[in-house]
Amino acid sequence: MKKLKIAIQKSGRLHNDSLQLLKNCGIHIDNGKDQLKAPAKNFPLEIFYLRNGDSPQYLKDGVVDCAIIGENLLVEKGDDIQVAERLGFSKCRVSLAVSKIFEYDSVQDLNGKRIATSYPVTTQKFLNEQGIQAELHIINGSVEIAPNIGLADAICDIVSSGSTLFKNNLKEVEVLLKSEAVLAVSPRLPEEINKVLDKFLFRIRAVLKGKDYRYVLLNAPNEKLDAIMDLLPGMKSPTILPLAEEGWSSLHSVVNQDEFWDVIDSLKAAGAEGILVCPIEKMVV
């Protein structure tokens, strides 16, 4: 079976989370120090460790079949590349920022100004949409220092926590787009690789689905089962098992993480006792 060639960031914020995702998918990597390529031990997959900014071109050229990459880079360098799955980690945004002493009321204040950025395509598209004429200075790395040294009046860069902006006396004024890690697929993906990619995506989706839910076990008197079951639909319906104590049952189900605390409060109010909550490693639906 041919191997699926996947690019991940050689170092940086995406690197560790990407390797952890592979590990959660049960894929073990032979990863010697400073290797540019590394095969998986137990899955037809080979990793290419690349600079994040190079991955879009490698995808376009078909050098790699897929890549774990920031969505912001696809918008900047590969908006014709398809996203197979959103991965939910390494969330950030591409934003405009100005000096804290810059009197900013609206995007119109950037007319005629100088903007330093590593994202010229994204920045120019936004400016065009807003009808703003500005001069772009393209910088690779350390964009945030540009206003402090007089190179630019504003910057456009990725923002995660905002701490880097704060340290450089900048304030975020416009969010151009929100981004997260995605699995992107080459437009030149060989037909014979599709089956391997499908198996890989199956594992990824099972891992991501598991993170969204919690497994809930609880005890309840039988006369309150109907009310409690309405709160615990589960995958299809809750699992109900009789307890040794007559008149009581144990219910097993899953709860969406986003609704978890509200559901738990409702379960307690409906008469549930001994509620046990467990994380779900993987969830196949």
pLDDT in tens, 150-207: 899 999 999 988 899 999 999 999 999 999 999 999 999 999 999 999 999 999 999 9
pLDDT greater than 70 at residue 208: yes
Q: Supply angle C-alpha 58, 59, 61, rounded to 5.
A: 65
Q: Mean pLDDT throughout 246-268?
A: 90
Number of domains composing the chain: 3
Considering the chain, what percentage of its residues have pLDDT values greater than 70?
A: 97
Q: Mean pLDDT throughout 203-221?
A: 93
Same domain assignment for residues 124 and 248: no
pLDDT score, position 231:
85
Distance CA 109, CA 99 (A): 13
pLDDT greater than 70 at residue 235: no
Residues 146 and 139: beta-carbon distance below 8 Å: yes
Same domain assignment for residues 186 and 265: no
Q: Mean pLDDT throughout 60-85?
A: 93
Domain of 191?
4-89+180-210
Same domain assignment for residues 226 and 257: yes
pLDDT score, position 131:
95
Same domain assignment for residues 47 and 117: no
Query: Phi-psi region for residue 150, left (φ > 0), alpha (ψ -120 to 50) or beta?
Result: left
Mean confidence (pLDDT) of the chain: 91
Ranges 51-55, 58-62, 178-182: which has the least confidence: 51-55
pTM: 0.85
Same domain assignment for residues 79 and 199: yes
pLDDT score, position 13:
79
For residue 122, what is the domain's CATH number? Answer: 3.40.190.10
DSSP H/E element including 146: none
Q: Which residue has the higher pLDDT, 52 or 267?
A: 267
Residue 284 lies in a domain: no
pLDDT score, position 239:
86
pLDDT score, position 7:
96
CA distances (Å), origin 153, targets 76, 126, 135: 22, 17, 10
Q: Residue 17 contacts by C-beta under 8 Å, 6 or more apart in sequence?
A: 89, 90, 181
Which alpha helices (DSSP H) does 7-162 contain, by range? 13-24, 55-61, 71-77, 120-130
Residue 111 lies in a domain: yes
Residue 224 lies in a domain: yes
Kindly report the backbone phi and psi dihedral angles of residue 276, in degrees, each rounded to the nearest multiple of 5, phi listed first: -120, 130
pLDDT in tens, 100-115: 999 999 999 999 999 9
- pLDDT level of residue 224 (50, 70, 90 thresholds): very high
Q: Supply angle C-alpha 143, 70, 147, rounded to 5.
A: 10
Residue 59 lies in a domain: yes
Residue 285 lies in a domain: no
Same domain assignment for residues 109 and 188: no
DSSP state of 30: -
| Block residue for tokens 């839910």 | 213
Same domain assignment for residues 158 and 205: no
List residues bridging with 278 in a β-sheet: 215
Q: Of 131, 156, 179, which residue is a domain's last?
A: 179
